[in-house]
Amino acid sequence: MLEDGRGSFWFSCSQGLFRVSQDDLTALADGRRKAVWSEASGVKDGLRTTAFGAGLQPNACRTADGKLLFCSLKGLVVVDPERLFKSTHVPPVYIEHVRFDRRGVPVDRPAVFPPSSGELKIEYTALGLRAPDRIRFRHRLEGFDADWVEAGTRRFAHYASLPAGSYRFRVMACNEDGGWNEAGAAFSFTLTPYFYRRGWFYAVCVFVLAGVTVAGHKVRVARLKASERELKRRVDEALAKVKVLRGLLPVCASCKKVRDDKGYWNQIETYLHEHSDTQISHGICPDCVRKLYPEYADAILRGESTAQETTAETPRRD
């Protein structure tokens, strides 16, 4: 490795002779670049071979007048940095072909693509007669790529599964001496979305959902009101029955039957059972016992009195 004093490093190896910019190396070391491009010299540039010497002996040196000497397997290679010049001609860039979903489209005007899988291939080129195989490219799809893509000597860009939206593809070219054509070439296009990904479709969905929600709420409120009316009706009926028991009951003075709301005479037990939760049990009062069973009245009444006293005196068990 030798430094030429003009801002470049020269490397010789078994693959040829390479020149790298010192600024590019510094930018790579500082993290401002992701890669470094080296300029290769081969047989087309006057070398007899691309295989340079290796081993323990020095393979290269710099002379006092600034020339660089490198040992190759077919002789000594002399590089004079003073006689090297940079080309000021930047190569013009052209977009040759555009294929969207494998169908060719015109490149001279913006395009509008229908909803599809979003597969895009763009082929581009640059004119350079001095060293066309050393022209480098960088491209960027605005709206998709976050930064420029260093494509090297590759002359096409491929994108798959592009989402719907508006895009602009830009490509720039660089000559063999690092001169960039920053104007480059561009191609704009729009990929339309499917109908279910459009804004109006989401608005319709929101509107329908809101309508269904409002309708469901109204139906629920109507059902609740109907249930409330039914409950009120039942409560009114129950209160009416309770009021009947609290009001005046027509009772027969002879048989003690009760006349209901429909005019029928029923036993008082039946009436109370139908109009209340009262449970009816039967017994005979002392007056009726003496009236119906005079010969047994004293014994029966005495037995009831004794039973009541016995019940009252029995101790409570917890």
Q: What pLDDT, on a 0 to 100 scale, did the predictor assign at position 9?
A: 92
- For the chain, 318 residues long, give each residue's pLDDT as a single digit of tens: 899 888 889 988 888 889 998 988 999 999 888 888 888 887 877 888 888 876 667 788 999 999 999 988 888 899 988 887 777 788 899 999 999 888 888 988 899 888 776 788 999 999 887 778 888 899 999 999 988 998 888 999 999 888 888 999 999 998 877 788 889 999 999 988 766 566 666 787 788 888 888 888 888 888 888 888 888 888 777 767 655 555 556 666 556 666 666 655 566 666 666 666 666 666 677 777 777 778 877 777 777 665 555 555 555 554
Q: What residue segments make up the domains of the chain, in order of their start? A: 2-83, 93-195, 198-247, 249-298
Place of tokens 């291939």: 121
Give the integer Cα–Cα distance in Å for 295 and 225: 67
- What DSSP string describes 71-134? EETTEEEEE-GGG-----PPPPEEEEEEEETTEEE-SSS-EEEPSS---EEEEEEE--SS-GGG
Q: What pLDDT, on a 0 to 100 scale, did the predictor assign at position 92?
A: 93
Q: Please, are residues 169 and 121 in contact by the beta-carbon 8 Å criterion?
A: no
The helix/strand/coil state of 155 is coil
Q: What pLDDT, on a 0 to 100 scale, did the predictor assign at position 39?
A: 82
- CA-wise closest residue to 70 among 14, 134, 8: 14
Q: Quote the strand ranges of the chain, DSSP E.
A: 2-3, 8-13, 16-21, 38-41, 60-62, 68-72, 75-79, 93-100, 103-105, 111-113, 120-126, 136-142, 149-152, 156-159, 165-174, 180-191, 258-259, 265-266
Give the integer Cα–Cα distance in Å for 82 and 188: 44
Place of tokens 């006349």: 259
- Name the CATH architecture for the domain at 93-195: Sandwich (2.60)
Q: What pLDDT, on a 0 to 100 scale, did the predictor assign at position 159?
A: 92
